[in-house]
Chain A
């Protein structure tokens, strides 16, 4: 057993990190808000970096890497709040032509758990294909011409949302097992994004706590603030362990219960993303409550991701079922 990012994995993260830091700096957020969080040029570049083709076998034009690599990549995307239907397009590589290369932008809707009403779809206007996960299978729906209207104020300024009036059944392209599998993989990747959010929120708050002076000293020198930041660090490390464990267990399913590992990751990383975003705002004081400071983006994205591929509550219930079954 060697549960540590390898040198190759560290290099992969470094590459993605420097790319997204260059392409999605804070200064770009106002412009991204105007384009509703989607930029086709950025999308093509993410595709070129291998974000979507990462796990596709090399003979199918992919990078041929595993789930733990994917979790590490999504961690970096989350840390920089990179917008767009990243997880769905990654899941669609190999399933929908053009998803891996970024030519086809794929979004999705997970209807496997309690039928959500109203039906809200993210990034609808940017999508070429909409995947729908139902209990009995995976369906492909044409997003164009869908009876849907944009919601007036989406929660996350970089995640536009449409309310869909009626959803056609679409073309069935996978069975029930495939749908369950995509949901599992989706939850693992989202936990990577959530880990990234937890880290990004801490980095931002930590930098502010060192710079902001009150009573003649940096606020991070006061225990009340220092301890908030230490608590964010603990949540971040728990989320890291959970998300990496989900990726590594998907890569080696013989070692442990994959479903339990993924659900544990979604629970731990989901909590870390939300709590760290909240605490990050608190550390920023009044400025944290403004649109100017980046802190609010972390909170809003955290709640978008909380509701992707199962909430903490849903995953906690699943863990409880697995736990009960293990008692015999």
Chain B
């Protein structure tokens, strides 16, 4: 077990940190969360800057425009991006961390050439069409139907929780191609261009009052067969490749940023006074914050352990499945503590009295979403119980 970085790794870190120190301030402040065209422009132009500097597609092969960095360099990358408070993936999330990796793993050469370099350059934005009103945790129960008609699939159905749908160029879409087969064996993974006729996008406001979700209604949308990734009816396996990516390092930068969040909380605690004493003078509060900060250090060590195990074995270690759950737990407790700290100032989501109410509430709402997105914590606990601890499986519904 060696935590020391090699000279090459140090050089990589120093160069990246220097580049970020110059470029992050130059990129300016993010636009209003309601201004979607501006958000797309902000996120994709940042992606382009990363690409031009050689920092885009950090883990992807060079032949598709990536950097082909080692796993340790990727960890360094997440640490420095977070430390510099650089724009994170934003609207590029699905392309860079979800759909793109799937195309890379399972797509044809033509599909890779068509999409990967464009995603890496920030030219192409993706959204995700997985969940449906009837298929959440039981994703394999999805009903959006695709019927083959010559060299097209004709698709009709209703997708929900579709992030970035209204600014996306493509959608990673799961459809049912064989309604007679057991539910896991009749699903196909398609790349859907978002400008096809028959696609109706309706925003779905989140409890934040804004956010990135839409519902997507599909009515006889004709998708070319060549847009299929993997074999027909093999989409469930292809999907699980994607989910593995999503549950892997997708939250790595957020975890480091959470350390900065806790530091902000300390700053706030020093400002909040009651009866002449600052909240920070309360020993119980200091203990609680210290405990959380200690847990955040252990959480990041968990990521390092799992990444280094993946380096050795080629697959994320058993600890990887615990990472997201532990992250969720610490994240929710940390942000809830900051809301407690706000007291009545928390009645406002806009900043009042020099306190970052908007930041604290935004992060707390985000924390609440993390135990739901990408597989609820309850589903993840089933997975740990069954696949790691070897406990009996949940009963399967008929036809499964």
Interface residue ranges, A against B (CB under 8 Å): 1-6, 9, 68, 206, 209-210, 217-218, 220-221, 223, 226-227, 229-231, 233-234, 237-242, 244-245, 247-249, 251-252, 254-256, 260-261, 263-268, 312-313, 315-321, 323-324, 326-327
Contact = CB atoms under 8 A, between A and B. Distances in A.
A315 B392 CA distance: 39
Contact of A229 (B283, B389, B394): B389
B232 interface: no
A241 B322 CA distance: 11
Contacts of B9: 1
Contact of A226 (B295, B309, B382): B382
Contacts of B304: 1, 3, 241, 245
A276 B386 CA distance: 19
Interface of B: 1-6, 9, 72, 75, 262-263, 266-267, 280, 283, 286-291, 293-295, 297-299, 301-302, 304-305, 308-309, 311-312, 318-319, 322-323, 325-326, 329, 378, 380-382, 384-386, 388-394
Nearest to B394: A223
B392 to A, nearest CB: 3
Given A234-B384, A313-B287, A247 B1 contact: yes
Contact of B384 (A233, A238, A255, A261): A233
B308 A316 contact: no
B72 A1 contact: yes
Contacts of B286: 316-317, 320
Contacts of A209: 391
Given A3-B1, A320-B293, A323-B262, 10 more contacts: A1-B72, A3-B2, A234-B329, A238-B322, A240-B302, A248-B3, A264-B297, A268-B295, A316-B291, A327-B266
Contacts of A3: 1-3, 301, 304-305, 308
Given A3-B304, A256-B3, A326-B263, A245 B297 contact: yes
Nearest to A210: B391
A225 to B, nearest CB: 8
A1 B391 contact: no
A227 B393 contact: no
A2 B313 CA distance: 13
A241 B308 CA distance: 12
Contacts of B288: 316
Contact of B294 (A210, A244, A263): A263
A323 B289 contact: yes
Q: Which of B1, B75, B262, B291 has the most CB atoms of chain A within a 10 A radius of its CB?
A: B1
A4 B295 CA distance: 20
Contacts of B385: 220, 226-227, 229-230
A226 B391 contact: yes
